[in-house]
Amino acid sequence: MAKIESFVDTSSGLYKKQYKQSISALEKISIIRTEIAEGGSEKARALHKKRGKLLARERIALVLDEESPFLEIAPFAAYDIYDNKAPSAGIITGIGKISGHLVMIVANDATVKGGTYLPLTIKKHIRAQKIAMENHLPCLYIVDSGGVFLPLQEDIFPDKEHFGNIFYNQARLSKEGLLQVAVVAGASTAGGAYVPAMCDQTVIVKNTGAIFIGGPPLVKAATGEDVTVEELGGADVHTRISGVADYMAEDDEDALIKVREIFSSLPQDKPYQLDRIKPSDPVYKADEIYGIIPTDLKKPFDSREIIARIVDSSKFDEFKPLYGRTIVTGFARIGGYLVGILSNNGVIFPDSADKGAHFVELCADRKIPILFLQNITGFMIGKAYERAGIARAGAKMINAVATADVPRFTIMIGNSYGAGNYAMCGRGYNPRFLWTWPAAKIAVMGGQQAADTLAQVKVNQLKRAGKSLTDEEIDELKKPILADYERQSSSLYSSARLWDDGIIDPAKTREYLMLAIEISSHNIDQSRQRYGIFRM
């Protein structure tokens, strides 16, 4: 592999301007994330602590191995949704090491609406379980939840990926032989009672933990029976009488010690041996990425400059460097792991789509993980390109990406528009992990193109009716469209809705990828690669 030669002038005014802009965008995201990490209101947190309970993030920190990283999933979920009163959607999910094992952790935050499940809470919980299944990870559920958020029950209860899907996934995880452990550190109410009941081993905290299908108010309404929380579903009931729980803990700390003991007796998983050598740092500084990202994403930049600051020794074995040049493809190492990389250097043409499909096939056949760096405005349009078979070439690339049975990781580093999002392994193509940089944008097309298109449709409608609009009226027509696209294409809007797994610091991209590749190695499809039909 040859070292990438960088042409970035770190002393230029443009570089410094873009660096400052990137830092500003990152600081805004960091402030929001810090606020989110506090959880519910100060009053709710104080009440929680008064009950002798640890906060959700304190519980996670205590159960993890010392110095273990915690790869948090979707920390911005529900941001600026539900009146901005459900930070992290009331649930914290992520991967860390417990007694030497990589574990998916799902922890309810009872300081946020009593730990109840809003629509995005469910979506986030299910996403965590899917990551566990894809990467063959055991799970820890730290339960402290009032169950379904009843005012929104129609968006929570009956559909395919609503509340019941959580328990379906638990059954599937169990079928795959993946250990699931629950700590009931608060309420485990209604349907939520099935979370600990479906786990391999369950710990319940004395006096604060409770499991019941119907709480005391519902029991009273349905049967007329007066019963206390402890009598109905407390720790003593479930460890001595019902057998729903296996261990009684004195407090949160005691429960988490027991969890560590449970995982310490789990045999070590033997991950697939991906091609790995001794890692080496990139030659160029990671923070130089800040100055490479344009202030205006409509301006192009060479994605090789990003690759040079992510991969080992900044070395890259580029594939077909002279062909289909708007897609950059090649092999590199990240943390010693061999990976294939596809990145965008412009709109996708038929030749670049063919090149992308060819490269994905190479990686899939050799069981090499694939990294997609998205900065794509879509496929090239126009008469000449339609006649050249842009749809056929694009379909070929999409087919290859969709059927590649290797771990795939996607980073949205710039634009992510239209079918380009699909061809470059967007959310709908199930990458193992997908992260977004703060300034990245995702939409069906750019705001200006959308505004121009919709305005032209309106002009044509009026023209058929014998009417017309002035240039000023057309501009006024475009303004709300542009504003909506600007808001809806932002990284925060995307991350709040779990279209990604979080917004990350561009300079830490390499760290995220190294951990993601390690996680993915626990489940590699070793069967022979097969594809669908490639229309030639």
For 323-335, the DSSP string reads SSTTEEEEEEEET
- The pLDDT score that the predictor gives to residue 217 is 85
233 vs 9, 106, 129, 382, 484, CA distance in Å? 66, 22, 26, 66, 49
Do 27-264 and 286-444+490-520 agree at the fold level?
A: yes
Percent of the chain residues topping a pLDDT of 70: 100
Both tokens of residue 260? 């560590």
* Degrees to nearest 5, angle at CA 335 with 329 and 275: 70
CATH superfamily of 286-444+490-520: 2-enoyl-CoA Hydratase; Chain A, domain 1 (3.90.226.10)
> On the CB side of 404, how many CA atoms lie within 13 Å of its CA?
35
* Helical axes 509-520 vs 119-135, angle rounded to 10°: 60
* Fold (CATH) for 27-264: 2-enoyl-CoA Hydratase; Chain A, domain 1 (3.90.226)
Three-state secondary structure call for residue 109: coil
Q: What are phi and psi of 20, to 5 degrees?
A: -60, -40
User: How high is the mean pLDDT of the chain?
Assistant: 95
Q: Say what the pTM is.
A: 0.95
- The pLDDT score that the predictor gives to residue 265 is 96
Where exactly are the structural domains of the chain? 27-264, 286-444+490-520, 447-488
Q: How confident is the model at residue 6 (pLDDT cuts 50, 70, 90)?
A: very high
- Which residues in 390-421 are b (16+ Cβ under 10 Å) and which e? beebbbbbbbbbbebbbbbbbbbbbbbbbbbb
The DSSP letter of residue 65 is P
Is the predicted pLDDT of residue 535 greater than 80, yes or no? no
**Rounded CA separation 24/492 (Å):** 15
Selection from 364, 374, 350, 368 nearest residue 403 by Cα: 364
The arithmetic mean of pLDDT across residues 481-498, rounded, is 94
**Rounded CA separation 173/163 (Å):** 16
Both tokens of residue 27? 């600081």
**Rounded CA separation 201/454 (Å):** 56
Q: How confident is the model at residue 291 (pLDDT cuts 50, 70, 90)?
A: very high
Give me the residue label for tokens 């939840």: 145
